[in-house]
């Protein structure tokens, strides 16, 4: 029996000329916030598939995915051409360990993301379980341009509902309209992130979830280890959980 099911596109939302999201109706197995599945199209007689994280809460009836159209991308260019009512393939077995069940309870949860990798964090935030697990939650979203800061309505609504939530937009290629300028490693090194969050120092009982550009994930994990934090493993609890987003 095939693990692929047919999904129907219910809504396409273009955030920028290259960033878009798809809302899809598909009957798949349940997933945990932070997990991913695969989307696919049959192109020239071959099924082309890529992994994408869920943006929606597991309780939501529609699946949502946040994508970037990559020029000459074998799948993303075709997904970008989909319209309401079109079909695509959705893999019926969500997977991944970038979930709160794998994260030890702590004082502050730092969600460090770049680009479309903010998606799984939005799913975790919408799910709501993190508010019972951490006293404070900080979401950092690193992008090139101010216009790349998507899902602002959801994020601002979360700020209003949960005073323990801090959102840090981080823009690298132009002056930020809000938030900070630079890269994730930079604002950690120069203490800007801690100061922006009105802290005097990085809480030792912190947990860091890293998701995004592989270089960001690697460099940030190395920097955090230099600061005295260690990678989290099931057999040896630590402070750093990573997801290699592509």
Tens digit of each residue's pLDDT (9 = 90 or more) over 61-89: 999 999 999 988 899 999 999 999 999 99
Q: Does 246 score more than 70 pLDDT?
A: no
CA distance 167 to 244: 22
- Percent of the chain at pLDDT > 70 equals 99
CA distances to 83, 91, 169, 239 from 69, in Å: 15, 20, 22, 33
What's the average model confidence in pLDDT over 22-37?
96
Hey, which residues does 166 pair with through a beta bridge? 138
pLDDT band at 245 (very low <50, low <70, confident <90, very high): low
Tens digit of each residue's pLDDT (9 = 90 or more) over 189-220: 999 999 999 999 999 999 999 999 999 999 99
Range with the lowest mean pLDDT among 2-11, 139-148, 211-220, 235-244? 235-244
Residue with token string 């099931």: 234
What's the average model confidence in pLDDT over 49-55?
97
Q: Does 1 score more than 60 pLDDT?
A: no
Tens digit of each residue's pLDDT (9 = 90 or more) over 112-130: 999 999 999 999 999 999 9
**DSSP 8-state class, residue 179:** S
Mean confidence (pLDDT) of the chain: 96
pLDDT band at 173 (very low <50, low <70, confident <90, very high): very high
């Amino acid at each position: 029996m095939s693990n692929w099911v047919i999904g129907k596109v219910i809504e396409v939302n273009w955030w920028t000329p290259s960033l878009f999201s798809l809302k899809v109706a598909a009957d798949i197995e349940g997933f945990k916030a932070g997990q991913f599945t695969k989307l696919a199209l049959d192109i020239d007689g071959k099924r082309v598939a890529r992994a994408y994280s869920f943006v929606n809460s597991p309780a939501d009836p529609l699946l949502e995915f946040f994508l970037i159209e990559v020029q000459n991308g074998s799948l993303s260019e075709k997904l970008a051409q989909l319209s309401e009512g079109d079909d695509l393939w959705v893999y019926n077995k969500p997977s991944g360990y970038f979930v709160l069940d794998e994260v030890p309870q702590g004082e502050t949860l730092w969600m460090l993301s770049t680009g479309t990798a903010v998606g799984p964090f939005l799913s975790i935030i919408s799910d709501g379980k993190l508010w019972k697990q951490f006293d404070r939650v900080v979401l950092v979203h690193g992008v090139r341009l101010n216009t790349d800061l998507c899902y602002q309505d959801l994020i601002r609504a979360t700020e209003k509902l949960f005073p323990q939530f801090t959102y840090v937009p981080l823009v690298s290629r132009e002056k930020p309209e809000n938030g900070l300028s630079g890269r994730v490693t930079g604002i950690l090194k120069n203490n800007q992130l801690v100061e922006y969050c009105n802290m005097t120092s990085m809480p030792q009982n912190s947990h860091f979830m890293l998701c995004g550009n592989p270089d960001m994930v690697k460099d940030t994990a190395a920097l955090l280890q230099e600061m005295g934090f260690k990678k989290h493993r099931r057999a040896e609890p630590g402070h750093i959980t990573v997801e290699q987003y592509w």
